[in-house]
Structure 1
């Protein structure tokens, strides 16, 4: 078991998401940084979709009530185990009674907004509609469909008998392995969406050329941005229609909203673009108050970006397999 000691809000149990539930009006949920969660599980030899804990308000503290291997990924939060510093994007072992603490995310060559703790065997909460992820809207999945609270105790799953040994050595974060920035500002690639041509030429130009600030009104449901006003050529009225994470809508005030993991499955605001699937993790790690840039891309480039991630993950898997073999003296 794991006991939550912190009063920090908005920590949740997440896996890779509730795929296929949009047709029932249930959002995907899942980790805002899927690569971070996936890599934490790779370090432990877990199923890549095993559930972990996502944290976005710090400091955060938890205690292990049993001996357990665990891994840290996402934002570098100067983590310590009973006061002993831990490396980010690495595995570690805890004994029963030891306390894990994550401080404020560090600034440096890369800075994230969310950190992840994965445990050998995964966090064991009920599977709801194919996923253990917490969907706060509708109180679905996770621990009673809500954010974790002080005193909560989470069960740890049993690793498979043939699960490989945990790897303690670290992984180079994808933000360093696959950087993307424009004029020093972190960037994400965007496909023009259905109503793109219905905005003024000046607005379309500003959308690509200006930085956008992530406002404090942003959360797992959506990132509300502040920047140039995006104006339609003429008023746009649409019926509600299906939307997915990454869609960038423009409400009447002209300030874009990027739909994130907990987004509702339908909406009626006009769409100017869609963040490509391969870059959603980048946006998920953008801190409140930071700025981002949008880079126009095409379908072929979006598919190539997914291929780049798969190639990177394949390299990580080979590296971890090699490290496990060396630790066993093979």
Structure 2
């Protein structure tokens, strides 16, 4: 059985994303997928979907959605924003049952960039090369290779399992004041010491030219070494920090090109890519160099956070007995007789 979610209005970049494509970078196609996989996984966890199930990604925008032909359980997660059902505000990071004809409105985020909307049972779309994710520059996935617009709609599978019910999850922290961790290289030797010091010591801001392909940063120019800024094109990864001739770094993101001819001074560790992705134009970015051991530790911690999401769900408006039993309530106990004297 299927239902349909009609898009009545949208702004910003509205696309369908999932866990991304794998195995096609050697053919020149990057993986795409959610810019904040942990937030998408949180929305999916709320409605009982696998973490990489397809969800709507709203980038610096909002939308109005109406369920047609049935009812649905939906959930939002990611950047904080106002969510309303038929004009009545509700909390984010929670499930909501939307009956046939009701409208779910999501305002542009108050801070951060990406919000995710998941539906119980999952959106129904035809995978291309193993994913339904929109790769805009390649013209594949999503709404026929383009962003969604008003008047479009998505089919979803009506879940035959138990309804997820009213539940919520704590927002996933972004540590906005902490620096973005990087590992130097693979071409750090192509930069002057002053260039490395600038990367690690200066404060940059996200440019208005930031998008899903790359975040160009504004700030002091990073000095190249005597060999210059051209290299034989080689592979890139998500988080590669290229520095073209103008000296302003570009951090490559989900829809990046798979090879590049500018030297890469450093690579953002995988665990911090979502934190960078949630920075919006004009917001500050600082970098901190870490070694492989710390980068691996961060990756393992992020994997644990992802796997732990279902255990962090709790009833909405009710008492979470497991949390209550696990709390240290005795530490706040008082001696009533002593305190009354």
Give TM-score scaled by structure 1 length: 0.90
Q: CA RMSD in A?
A: 2.1
Q: Which of 306, 317, 322 pairs up with 1:313?
A: 306
**8 Å Cα contact 1:90-1:167 kept in structure 2:** no
Runs of 4+ in 1 over 6 A off after TM superposition: none
Q: CA deviation at 1:288?
A: 1.3
Q: CA deviation at 1:205?
A: 0.9
Who wins on radius of gyration, i.e. which is larger? 2
**8 Å Cα contact 1:87-1:170 kept in structure 2:** no
Q: Which structure 2 residues correspond to residues 50-61 of structure 1 after superposition, within 5 A? A: 50-61=53-64
- Secondary structure of the residue aligned to 1:175 is coil
d(CA) in 1 for partners of 2:307 and 2:251?
Answer: 30
d(CA) in 2 for partners of 1:85 and 1:168?
Answer: 16
| Matched residues, number | 315
Give TM-score scaled by structure 2 length: 0.87
Q: Which structure 2 residues correspond to residues 192-271 of structure 1 after superposition, within 5 A? A: 192-234=184-226, 235-271=228-264
Q: Give the aligned partner of residue 122 of structure 1.
A: 122
Q: CA deviation at 1:47?
A: 1.9
Q: CA deviation at 1:9?
A: 4.0
- Change beyond 3 A, Cα 1:168–1:303: farther
> Could you tell which deviates more after superposition, 97-106 or 145-154?
97-106
Q: Which of 164, 172, 176 pairs up with 1:174?
A: 172
> Could you tell which deviates more after superposition, 193-202 or 218-227?
193-202
Q: CA deviation at 1:237?
A: 2.5
**8 Å Cα contact 1:226-1:255 kept in structure 2:** yes
d(CA) in 2 for partners of 1:14 and 1:314?
Answer: 19
- Secondary structure of the residue aligned to 1:88 is coil
Q: CA deviation at 1:142?
A: 1.5
Q: CA deviation at 1:233?
A: 1.6
> Could you tell which deviates more after superposition, 232-241 or 28-37?
232-241
Q: Which structure 2 residues correspond to residues 1-330 of structure 1 after superposition, within 5 A? A: 1-65=4-68, 66-106=70-110, 111-159=111-159, 161=160, 163=161, 165-175=163-173, 179=175, 181-182=177-178, 187-234=179-226, 235-320=228-313
For residues 225-257 of structure 1, the C-alpha deviation after alignment (integer angstroms, 9 at most, x for no partner) is 011111112114311111121100000000000
Is there any run of 5+ residues in structure 1 with no aligned partner, and where? none
d(CA) in 2 for partners of 1:271 and 1:138?
Answer: 24
